[in-house]
Amino acid sequence: MVATMTTPKQKTAIETIDLSVAYNGKAALKGVSVAFPENAVTALIGPSGCGKSTLLRAMNRMNDRIPDVAISGRVLLNGQDIYDRRVNLTRLRREVGMVFQKPNPFPMSIFENVALGPRLHYGIRGRALQEVVEDALRKAALWDEVKDELHKSGLALSGGQQQRLCIARMLAVQPRILLMDEPCSALDPISTQKIEELIAELGTRYTVIVVTHNLQQAARISHYTGFLMFGELVEWGETTQIFERPARPETEAYIRGRFG
């Protein structure tokens, strides 16, 4: 299937070219080619099992950890294929961070959750490290809630706070691209609203790519939307166009709730 595409207005941050992924011989992605714009939020939508999360994980090589996975095609970051054997995976995952569906703070203090990355990656210590932690927590809209309890365990926070802590932990290592796999699916409506507001804010400074099953959420938070089905990219374009004037009948059927 040849996807219907709209040319983005911004510079490309990361791009897939004819990307295919199979697990145990079963195709999960089939020849997906898409360019994600810099400093914008892109939502990936589609029915369960369509390849959304596989595409997301392919962009920082998280699929490498899965047994019997076969990957072909290219993913270009700064003009280099991230699947080149010379690529440093630690550096890649520092530059392309990821937040998962279920918050996964480390079993340590709030401060240490955020400080661990910059200390290990950059050797930052002392007052400079404190400033990095504060800056990351501020960017994650969590500082005002935890500034007097930085010694408290990250596991003691609410679900929504834990997710924002994980976002702060990611931001502290200075990524360029933020991957988020259904970051609100385990949260209550109030926490979801805070995360959505945070994503919108982060999208002005970072390239954010979000997988979501919530179509209303995709419409609220994203500048661009990609619709996947059966492992193929069916349509990609500006979010208003995808939701109001979809070019493909499959996209319209999904948006209107006729399947999925």
Whether 216 has a pLDDT exceeding 90, the answer reads yes
66 domain residue, yes or no: yes
Over residues 137-175, the pLDDT tens digits come to 999 999 999 999 999 999 999 999 999 999 999 999 999
Q: State how many domains the chain has.
A: 1
The rounded mean pLDDT for the chain is 94
Burial of 242 (0-12, 13-18, 19+ CB in 10 A): buried
13 domain residue, yes or no: yes
233 domain residue, yes or no: yes
178 domain residue, yes or no: yes
Over residues 73-118, the pLDDT tens digits come to 999 998 899 999 999 999 999 999 999 999 999 999 999 999 999 9
pTM listed for this prediction: 0.94
Q: What is the pLDDT of residue 147?
A: 97
Strand order in the sheet with 96-99: 4-5, 232-238, 224-229, 41-45, 207-211, 177-181, 96-99
191 domain residue, yes or no: yes
Q: What is the pLDDT of residue 153?
A: 98
Mean pLDDT along residues 36-63: 96
Between 177 and 8, residue with greater pLDDT: 177
CATH number at residue 228: 3.40.50.300
What whole-number distance in Å separates Cα of residue 209 and Cα of residue 159?
A: 21
114 domain residue, yes or no: yes
260 domain residue, yes or no: no
Residue 185: which domain range? 4-255
Q: What is the pLDDT of residue 6?
A: 67
Work out the pLDDT band at 65, boundaries 50, 70, 90: confident
243 domain residue, yes or no: yes
